[in-house]
């Protein structure tokens, strides 16, 4: 069964304390893995797309990596404004298959 699991569900960090969020997936024929950021009361906002194992992308304090079974979102020296829910989604082969994880709620304390 196709599945996306994100961990941890919630994470509290001190400002400057680096950490990683995990997205484990099982999908037939990965076509793309997406990371989104969602602020309270708003829609998801695109961060990264990864298409093949070994690929990495960076944006400011965020870096996304991809293996054949999971993706990590590394947050280096986070700031309070990085507090949000981070969503992972995978696109699989077949009929428009696109599965979201339940997200990781990140809180960065000043």
- Which residues in this chain contact other proteins in the complex, by CB under 8 A? 4, 31-32, 34, 36, 41-46, 49, 51, 87, 89, 91-93, 96-103
Q: Could you give the C-alpha distances from 70 to 3, 21, 57, in angstroms and in order? A: 11, 10, 15
Closest to other proteins by CB, 23 or 78: 23
Name which of 78 and 101 has its Cβ closer to other proteins.
101
Task: List the beta strands (DSSP E) in the chain.
Answer: 3-7, 10-14, 19-26, 30-38, 45-50, 56-59, 62-66, 70-75, 84-92, 97-100, 104-109
Least Å distance, CB 42 to other proteins, is 6
Q: Which is nearer to other proteins, 15 or 45 (CB)?
A: 45
How far is it, in rounded angstroms, from Cα 62 to Cα 56?
Answer: 11
The minimum distance between CB 65 and other proteins, in angstroms, equals: 19
To other proteins, the closest distance from the beta carbon of 98 in angstroms equals: 5
């Amino acid at each position: 069964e196709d599945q996306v699991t994100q961990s941890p569900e919630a994470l509290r960090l001190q400002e400057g304390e680096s950490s990683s969020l995990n997205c484990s997936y099982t999908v037939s024929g990965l076509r793309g893995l997406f990371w989104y950021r969602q602020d309270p009361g708003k829609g998801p906002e695109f961060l990264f797309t990864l298409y093949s194992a070994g690929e990495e992308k960076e944006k400011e304090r965020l870096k996304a990596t991809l293996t054949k079974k999971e993706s990590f979102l590394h947050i280096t020296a986070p700031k309070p404004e990085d507090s949000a829910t981070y969503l992972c989604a995978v696109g699989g082969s077949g009929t428009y298959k696109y599965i979201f994880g339940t997200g990781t709620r990140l809180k960065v304390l000043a």
